[in-house]
Amino acid sequence: MRKTRTTEASNKVSVNAETLAKILDCGRPTAMKIGEAAGARIQIGKRVLYKVDRIERYLDGLAGEAQKENAL
């Protein structure tokens, strides 16, 4: 039997939509929406990638806003 290949996304600079969906644990369309909202989309020719660090900062910002709202 062949071993399943997994990729470690924690050290990647940019990822495609499928890998982003795995990182975020959501569907591909939702991952693409988050990538767009974060301003992390990069297009090189026909290939579309998403910058992981921008998405992390965007989600951290959303988490910070939620904490502020809960504190009130």
What ranges do the domains of the chain cover?
14-71
pLDDT tens by residue, 11-64: 899 999 999 999 999 999 999 999 999 999 999 999 999 999 999 999 999 988
Q: Measured at the alpha carbon of residue 32, what is the angle toward residues 29 and 36, in degrees to the nearest 5?
A: 140
Is the model's pTM score more than 0.85?
no
Structure tokens of 8? 């470690």
Residue 1 per-residue DSSP state: -
Q: Could you list the beta-strand ranges (E) of 1-72.
A: 14-15, 41-44, 47-51
Is pLDDT at 4 greater than 80 in this prediction?
Answer: no
Exposure letters 37-53 (e unless 16+ CB within 10 A, then b): ebebbeeeeeeebbbbe
